[in-house]
């Protein structure tokens, strides 16, 4: 290799080193920028999860109705037998449909999450009909979280115990209401104490059941007892066509 060739090669090598040295800071700067973006995204996600309303847990389950009914089965989150199913049958009830529903008590189930699925089946004594329905409610936890947050924000010093109220109407309507009741000692000096302790139930869901299959003669004895007690009319009440909204 000639002297000139050696000199040219050395010049090219030196230029390459300088180019790499010039490029390196750019690569390093790009890495820092990407890292910062990732950290910002993580922080935003964590803040969102921390600040967004959390769905309340359910302590009690209650059933109210417009007609005298027999609540055969009300179960939540079955998911074809693969979910965390909870709920049960209620027997006879005939009070407090509302709206809003009036409710005097419920069955304690332990802590249960806000459901996203409901199966409902009941027998209506005045109509001598079964009603039945499956309801998917994926939006229910978020809605319940917002409702509970609004109640809590109005009275931040109170801790609430929540009841999920099932309300069934005379034409097969199905509603779910959230009833919050605060723990603690009554404060009779506060004229608004009761409204703070037990605000009105808030509607979470409304749906329409279908006519269900079944033999009304299963309830012949109970129907006779209800008619004798004056709880239902002496004659069967005609059924209106079901109209899905």
- In the listed set 12, 30, 51, which residue is the last one of a domain according to the structure? 51
Does 7 lie in the same domain as 78? no
In angstroms, the CA 42 to CA 32 distance is 15
H/E segment holding residue 171: none
Residues 110 and 217 in one domain: yes
Q: Identify the domain containing residue 152 by its residue range.
A: 58-228
Average pLDDT of the chain to the nearest whole number = 78
Residue 96 falls inside a structural domain = yes
Considering the domain architecture, whether residues 30 and 66 belong to the same structural domain is answered as no
Say how many C-beta atoms besides its own lie within 10 A of residue 176's C-beta: 25
171 or 243, higher pLDDT: 171
What pLDDT does 115 receive? 93
**22 and 99 in one domain?**
no
Residue 208 DSSP SS3 = strand
> In the structure, what pLDDT confidence band is assigned to residue 30 with cuts at 50, 70 and 90?
confident
Per cent of the chain over pLDDT 70 is 69
Number of folded domains that form the chain: 2
- 121 shares its domain with 33: no
**pLDDT of 189:** 72
The confidence band for 193, taking pLDDT boundaries of 50, 70 and 90, is: low
pLDDT digits (tens, 9 = 90+) for 202-213: 999 999 999 999
User: For position 172, what pLDDT does the model report?
Assistant: 94
pLDDT band at residue 10 under the 50/70/90 scheme: very low
163 has a pLDDT exceeding 80: yes
The yes-or-no verdict on residue 4 having pLDDT over 70 is no
- 236, part of any domain: no
Please indicate, yes or no, if residue 235 is contained in any of the structural domains: no
Backbone phi, then psi, for 55, in 5-degree steps? -60, 135
In this predicted structure, the answer to whether residue 152 has a pLDDT above a threshold of 60 is: yes
Stretch (H or E) spanning 237: none
Rounded CA separation 177/204 (Å): 5
Give pLDDT, residue 188: 63
Residues 103 and 18 grouped into a single domain:
no
Residue where one domain finishes, among candidates 51, 68, 93? 51
Residue ending a domain, choose from 33, 51, 69: 51
Range 86-112 average pLDDT: 77
Judgement on whether residues 184 and 202 belong to the same structural domain of the protein? yes
How many other C-beta atoms can be found within 10 angstroms of the C-beta atom of residue 130? Answer: 22
Over residues 143-147, the mean pLDDT reads 93
């Amino acid at each position: 290799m000639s002297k000139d060739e050696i000199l040219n090669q050395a010049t090219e090598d030196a230029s390459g080193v300088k180019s790499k040295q010039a490029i390196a800071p750019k690569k390093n700067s790009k890495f820092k920028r990407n890292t910062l973006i990732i950290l910002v995204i993580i922080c935003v996600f964590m803040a969102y999860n921390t600040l967004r309303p959390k769905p309340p847990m359910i302590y009690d389950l209650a059933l109210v109705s417009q007609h005298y009914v027999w609540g055969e089965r009300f179960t939540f989150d079955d998911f074809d037998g693969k979910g965390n199913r909870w709920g049960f049958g209620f027997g006879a009830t005939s009070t407090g449909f509302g709206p809003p529903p009036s409710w005097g008590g419920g069955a304690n189930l332990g802590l249960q999450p806000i459901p996203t699925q409901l199966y409902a089946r009941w027998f209506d004594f005045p109509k001598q009909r079964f009603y039945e329905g499956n309801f998917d409610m994926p939006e229910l936890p978020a809605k319940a979280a917002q409702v509970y947050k609004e109640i809590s924000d109005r009275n931040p010093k109170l801790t609430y115990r929540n009841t999920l109220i099932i309300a069934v109407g005379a034409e097969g309507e199905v509603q779910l209401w959230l009833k919050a009741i605060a723990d603690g000692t009554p404060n009779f000096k506060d004229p608004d104490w009761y409204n703070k302790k037990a605000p009105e139930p808030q509607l979470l869901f409304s749906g329409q059941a279908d006519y269900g299959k079944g033999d009304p003669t299963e309830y012949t004895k109970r129907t006779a007892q209800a008619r004798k007690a004056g709880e239902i009319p002496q004659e069967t009440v005609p059924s209106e066509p079901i109209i899905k909204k």
